[in-house]
Amino acid sequence: MIRYLQIYRWAALLVFLLGLGVAGCASDKNLVAHAFNNVAARDNAYFLAREKLQATEDKLYAGRVNDYNQTLPLFPALDSNSVRANRADLVDIIKKASMPIQHRPGSDWTDDAYVLVGWARFYQMQFTDAAQTFKYVNSTSKDANAKHEALIGLMRTFVAEGEYDSAKAVSDLLDKESGLPKDARQLFLTRADYYIRTDEPAKAIPQLEKAIPLIEAKNERSRTRYILAQLYQEAGENKKLTTSST
């Protein structure tokens, strides 16, 4: 199905190119080149890298260990075993995402490709490289959504490293930014994880309350509600326990 969709898009681009009719104009040539770069970057390496990252994340999230005697983890635990099990896929993600960066630098997907590289490095526990990649996107991109996701990735990286002061600084910076609903969900969850790790569970509660309506997957939404109920119980807010389960 994906292959036929790509063929259709390439055919649509060909019709667009033929319809221009004024190839001698420099501005038209630039427009054609930009359109070509966008289609090539989006429908090939970037698309495949994004899909593989999603599949890798699904596997990592499914592998979370649920010890109900303590607050369940919001995110997968990263260790040498998780890196080893996913190394081949993560290396391939970086390889594919690097293609539009190297060969289609004029496309609108270059910043998104850098973000994919940042996440792949994060899951490889190459935190220094991941942080540098996210910082690069935030400092150079003109795409507000890419900058927003990069900052969330940077905050998550700092939290994973235990650099909580840096994570807080990024969190404060994110208050001035806006992004897509999926990124808002990740921001709220990352902030909740930060507060849980810094022994401020009461501050994690409103973050989870805002995140839950944005979680589409039913199982993940139910699991996050359970974590919220755990935090309610710990904070002595027993009246909210019944509402968190509905």
Region of 21 (left: φ > 0; alpha: ψ -120 to 50; beta: rest) is left
Report the pLDDT value the prediction gives residue 1, as an integer from 0 to 100: 45
pLDDT in tens, 132-186: 999 999 999 999 999 999 999 999 999 999 999 999 999 999 988 777 778 899 9
Element (DSSP H or E) covering residue 115 = helix 110-123
pLDDT tens track for 5-40: 444 444 444 444 444 444 445 444 454 444 455 555
Q: Tell me the pTM.
A: 0.80
Q: Is 136 exposed, middle or buried (0-12, 13-18, 19+ CB in 10 A)?
A: middle
Residues 14 and 67 in one domain: no
Share of the chain above pLDDT 70, in %: 77
Inform me whether the pLDDT recorded for 192 exceeds 80. Answer: yes
- Domain of residue 34 covers 1-43
End residue of a domain, out of 9, 25, 43: 43
Dihedral (CA of 170, 166, 98, 57) sign: negative
Whether residues 165 and 217 share a domain: the answer is: yes
pLDDT of residue 135: 98
Domain CATH for 120: 1.25.40.10
Q: Are residues 24 and 105 in the same domain?
A: no
Residue 246: pLDDT over 70: no
> What is the per-residue pLDDT for 132?
98
Averaged pLDDT, 187-206: 97
Average pLDDT over the chain reads: 84
